[in-house]
A and B are shown apart, each in its own frame.
Chain A
Amino acid sequence: MTQADFVNIVMPFKDKVFRLAKRLLVSKEEAEDATQEILLKLWNNQDKIEDYNNVEAFSMTMTKNFCLDRLKSKQAQNLKIVHSNYQDNNVSLQKQVELNDSVDWVSKIIEALPEQQKIILQLRDIEQYEFEEIAEMLDMNQTAIRVALSRARKTIREQLTNTHRYGIK
C-alpha cells in the first residue's frame, strides 16, 4: 500500500476521529496529538487494514479507547481547556454575543456529561452515525445506546433552558 492509498482510506474519517478526540480530551492540542497517534498506528499496521471490514468503525473504536486511556493516565493532568471561537455571520452583534454564549454553553454542558454519553452523543448527533454503526464501534447493544442518548439529550436541553431563563430573568 502506498501513502496515497492510505491517505485515500483515512481521508473520509480523519476529521471524525479528531472531533471525537476533542470531545473527550477537550483541548485542541491533545486531540491533534491523539489523532496523529491513531493515524500513525493505522499506518504502521497497514498490512492488517485490508482485513478489517470497516476501517472507519475500527478507527473510531481505537480513538475512543485511546482517549479514555489518555484521560486515565497521569499525563492527562496536564490537559488544557481551550475554547474554539464560534461565528455566525447572519445575526446582529447583540444576538451574536448571546448566541456565542449559548453555543458555548452547549459545549460546557456536554463536557459535564459522563464519558459514555459524551461519546454516544458525539457519534450520533454530530457525526450522524446509524445506531448499528455506533453499536459496532462501542460494542454495546442498540437499546442501551438509545437510552444513554436520550438521557444525554434531555440533560442538555434541561440545562440549556435553565441557563436561558437565568440569562433573561
Chain B
Amino acid sequence: MVLNNIEKLLEKYDNGETTLKEEQQLRAYFAQNDVEPHLESYKVMFQYYSKTKQEKFTKDVPLKPKKNNLYKWISVAAVAVLMFGAYTQFDFNKKRTIDDLSHEELLAYNQTKEAFNLLASKFSEGTTNVKVLGIVGTQFEKASEKVDYINEFSNTTNKFFKNK
C-alpha cells in the first residue's frame, strides 16, 4: 500500500506536479536503506540531492567598510568657497576714484567730508583751549621756581639765625 502510494507520488514527481510536502515524503522514503530494486535509480537521485545540499560556502569574504566620500567633497567645497571669497575680496580692494562714484555716493561722500571738516574745526578749537591750559601750566612752573627761590632764601636766613 505504501509502495503504491510512493509510486503514485513518483509519477506526479516526474511530471513536476508534486508539492514540496509530497517531495518531502519521497525523500523520507528513499532515505531508508531498503528500497524496491526497480526504484533504485530514484534512490541514487535523492541521495545525490541531499548530499549536495550539505555543501557549504566556506570562503571568507573580505567586507571593506564603505568608503565615505562625504568628507572628501566637503573639503573640496570648502576650498571652492575660500577661493571664491578671496576672489571677490580681491575685486573690492581695487582702488576706486571719486570719478567712479554715482551721484548719491558723491552726495554721501561730500556730506561725510563736511561732517569730518566740522569735527576737525571743533577739534582744533579744542586744541587751542588745551594750549591755554599749557600756558597756565608753564606759568605755574615758573611760579613754583620762584617759590623755590623763596625757600632757598629762607634756608639761608635760618642758617644765619643758627649761627647767631
**B51 — nearest CB in chain A belongs to which residue?**
A86
Q: Among the listed A19, A39, A150, A161, which residue makes an inter-chain contact with B16, where contact means beta carbons less than 8 Å apart?
A: A150
Given the complex of chains A and B, what is the CA–CA distance between A128 and B61 in angstroms? 26
Residue A24 CB within 8 A of the other chain: no
- B13 to chain A minimum Cβ distance, whole angstroms, is 7
A: residues with CB less than 8 A from B are 3, 6, 14-15, 17-19, 22, 32, 35-36, 39-40, 43-44, 46, 84, 86, 88, 90, 99, 102-103, 105-107, 125-128, 130, 145-150, 153-154, 156-157, 160-161, 164
Tell me whether A156 and B45 are in contact (CB under 8 A): yes
Q: Which residues of B contact A86 (CB under 8 A)?
A: 48, 51
Tell me whether B48 and A107 are in contact (CB under 8 A): yes
Tell me whether B13 and A153 are in contact (CB under 8 A): yes
Tell me whether B17 and A146 are in contact (CB under 8 A): yes
Tell me whether A15 and B57 are in contact (CB under 8 A): yes
SS class of chain A's interface: helix, strand, loop or mixed?
helix
Given the complex of chains A and B, what is the CA–CA distance between A106 and B41 in angstroms? 10
For this complex, 12 residue pairs linking A to B, each with C-beta atoms less than 8 Å apart, are A3-B65, A6-B63, A19-B52, A35-B61, A88-B47, A103-B48, A103-B51, A128-B20, A130-B20, A148-B16, A150-B17, A157-B14
- On whether A103 and B57 interact (CB within 8 A), knowing A44-B66, A46-B66, A130-B20, the answer reads no
Q: Which residues of B contact A90 (CB under 8 A)?
A: 33
- On whether A160 and B55 interact (CB within 8 A), knowing A146-B16, A153-B14, A153-B16, the answer reads no
Tell me whether A32 and B13 are in contact (CB under 8 A): no
- B23 to chain A minimum Cβ distance, whole angstroms, is 7
Given the complex of chains A and B, what is the CA–CA distance between A31 and B61 in angstroms? 13
Q: Which residues of A contact B44 (CB under 8 A)?
A: 99, 102-103, 105-106, 160
Tell me whether B40 and A19 are in contact (CB under 8 A): no
Residue B159 CB within 8 A of the other chain: no
Given the complex of chains A and B, what is the CA–CA distance between A100 and B11 in angstroms? 26
- On whether A15 and B14 interact (CB within 8 A), knowing A102-B44, A106-B48, A164-B40, the answer reads no
Residue B42 CB within 8 A of the other chain: yes
Tell me whether A3 and B63 are in contact (CB under 8 A): yes
- B62 to chain A minimum Cβ distance, whole angstroms, is 8
Residue B59 CB within 8 A of the other chain: yes
